[in-house]
Chain A
Amino acid sequence: MTELFDQYSGMVYSVALRVLKDPGQAEDVMQEIFFQVWRNPDAFVAGRGSLGAWLAVMARNRAIDALRRRRPTDPVEDVVLASSSDLGSEIERNRMMERVREVLRNLPMEQQTSVELAFFEGLTHSEIAAKTGDPLGTVKTRIRSALITLRKAITA
């Protein structure tokens, strides 16, 4: 278990910190995720795509829950990832992450803003629309377009 912690805790903590912007709360989220994996490794780990990718999504979702001060909205068994998120070696993973960062940096500004507000700040599409003054449909389209661009880059 400590090997798992050593391998992924930095990533899980970094994702939670990015959302919560508070080291204490981010560590709480990280500790809780790994503790749950420890308590129930079969239900939490097996068969949900890449372990690292799954932990990253869990870190983000639990951090958003903490940000909104609510109990977890989705049971972990509901979070299933497609196998496209599997990455073999650490070198391959680092290369892919650099490509993802570049894609996100190069998105049109309004798409970047929409993804940032929805994914890292936990705003609903209605809240994003109210904040940016854009129609709901436009917000949805921007987020989806950003992910389409990202997927093309990943699978290229």
Chain B
Amino acid sequence: MQDEHIPQEDLVLYAMQAMQAHELAAVRLHLEQCADCRRVLAEVNGDLAFVAMSVEQKPLPEGARQRFVERLAADPSGASKAGPTHVVSIKTKRPTRSAAVWIGWLAAAASLLFAISLEQRVRVLDDQLAQQRRAAEQQATANARAQQVLAVLTAPSAKRVLLTAAKSKPEPTGRAVYLAESGGLVFQANDLRQLAENKTYELWVIPADGTAPIPAGLFRPDAAGSASVLLPPLPKGVPAKAFGVTIEKAEGSATPTAPIIMVGAVPAAGE
């Protein structure tokens, strides 16, 4: 899979999340390494965006906006992010009453009404102009950023590095050592999350020939979050493309259940 591009049909299914769980891992692995397929996937996502946006517009439930505003207000981490309140300045010169008071109340009232009407019209136009200017600026910025992102993603010289969040709670990791000839597998994992009583972790061998993942043992972490699987019963002579770990019901499963919480590709020969 890593040498051959993913068929567009499969990328469409991947973008729609319409793949089987065991197929997802292989596509994800390939996408991490293939800029061409990432570009095609971005195009497919663009097409799907049109499908989504074509949905008939429905009015928001009553109070939805207020609930959102209240949620923002209650969020301490975002308190400083409140956007500027939009203030529209009215630059129209207010009509002044002429010193010639003898012109008559009727003419003065008409002028005043006209001025008020004009002021309201200016306010509306000013609002519309500001709104369109903001939309255009946002669009231009978004376009420029999208181009820059694509340029970085598709650059042949780009270095790809996996980073993990620097959290106080370390992320789970696992190491698998596999000897295909004898079907020997040693797996050790650390920093695993504790599971409910009716759940277990399950290790999977993902064969290189694209056939279904092979269950390679159930395990639960000890108090320190560590666990290991030693020499589970596996068929001999099955080259692996990757290994994955899923969470299954306590008795295990014959097929992996999404999501795959850990996955690792077998390095290509020479790496």
Contacts and interface: CB of A to CB of B under 8 A. Distances in A.
Interface stretch (B45-53, B88-96, B102-110, B226-234): B45-53
B80 to A, nearest CB: 12
B139 A50 contact: yes
A46 interface: yes
Contact of B65 (A9, A54, A82): A9
Interface in A73-114: 73-74, 79-86, 88-90, 93, 96-97, 100-101, 104
B123 interface: no
Interface string B208-243: 000000000000000000000000000000000000
Contact of B17 (A14, A59, A71, A73): A73
B195 to A, nearest CB: 14
A145 to B, nearest CB: 9
Interface residues of A, number: 78
Contacts of A15: 52-53, 55
Interface string B53-90: 11111111100110111011001011001110010000
B77 to A, nearest CB: 7
A150 B142 contact: no
B142 A49 contact: yes
Interface stretch (B5-13, B112-120, B174-182): B5-13
Nearest to B11: A144
B188 interface: no
B9 A74 contact: no
A41 B82 CA distance: 12
Contacts of A59: 52
Contacts of A147: 12, 44, 47-48
Interface string A1-45: 111011101110111011000011001001100110011010001
A74 B17 contact: yes
Given A1-B82, A27-B61, A82 B54 contact: no
B13 A100 contact: no
Contacts of A6: 65
Given A14-B56, A15-B52, A56-B53, A49 B46 contact: yes
**Interface SS majority for chain A:** helix
B50 A150 contact: yes
B8 A83 contact: no
B46 A10 contact: no
Contacts of A151: 43, 47
A11 to B, nearest CB: 6
Contact of B55 (A1, A14, A31, A50): A14
A32 B150 CA distance: 27
B42 A53 contact: no
Interface in B142-173: 142-143, 145-150, 153
B42 A49 contact: yes
Contact of B58 (A13, A86, A128, A141): A13
A66 interface: no
A88 B51 CA distance: 17
A3 B134 contact: yes
A74 B52 CA distance: 17
B17 A47 contact: no
Contacts of B55: 11, 14-15, 18
- In this complex, the member of B10, B59, B81, B139 whose beta carbon has the largest number of chain A beta carbons within 10 angstroms is B139
B49 A50 contact: yes
B19 A124 contact: yes
6 contacts: A49-B146, A57-B49, A59-B52, A70-B259, A83-B46, A140-B12
Interface of B: 8-10, 12-13, 16-20, 38-39, 41-61, 64-65, 67-69, 71-72, 75, 77-78, 81-83, 86, 132, 134-136, 138-139, 142-143, 145-150, 153, 258-259
Given A53-B52, A89-B135, 20 more contacts: A1-B81, A9-B60, A9-B65, A10-B59, A15-B55, A31-B67, A38-B75, A47-B145, A49-B49, A56-B49, A56-B53, A57-B45, A82-B150, A83-B146, A84-B46, A85-B49, A122-B17, A122-B18, A143-B9, A151-B43
